[in-house]
Amino acid sequence: MNEDTLQGKWKQVKGKVREQWGKLTDDDLDQIEGHSEQLVGRIQERYGIARDAAQRQYDDWRHANGIGSEAAV
């Protein structure tokens, strides 16, 4: 999913993000507004993990939820 697609679907995807990463606050999600790099950074920060681990979690989540391509969204 490219950045524009994630931003366009953010309101729909936000609930799934909260289910996966419950430590993210509503304020976090409002500030992220669909920016995948900010989401990965926030996951890293809230869970105290390395950037590459946060990116892996995000990529795995994206593929598991069918958000891996624009056609799947």
* DSSP secondary structure letters along 25-64: -HHHHHHHTT-HHHHHHHHHHHHT--HHHHHHHHHHHHHH
DSSP 9-33: THHHHHHHHHHH-TTS-HHHHHHHT
Residue-range domains of the chain with CATH = 3-72 (1.10.1470.10)
pTM of the model: 0.83
Q: Residues 52-64: pLDDT tens digits? A: 999 999 999 999 9
Axis crossing angle, helix 36-47 with helix 51-64, rounded to the nearest 10? 120
Q: Residues 2-33: pLDDT tens digits? A: 566 677 788 888 999 999 999 999 999 999 99
Mean pLDDT of the chain: 86
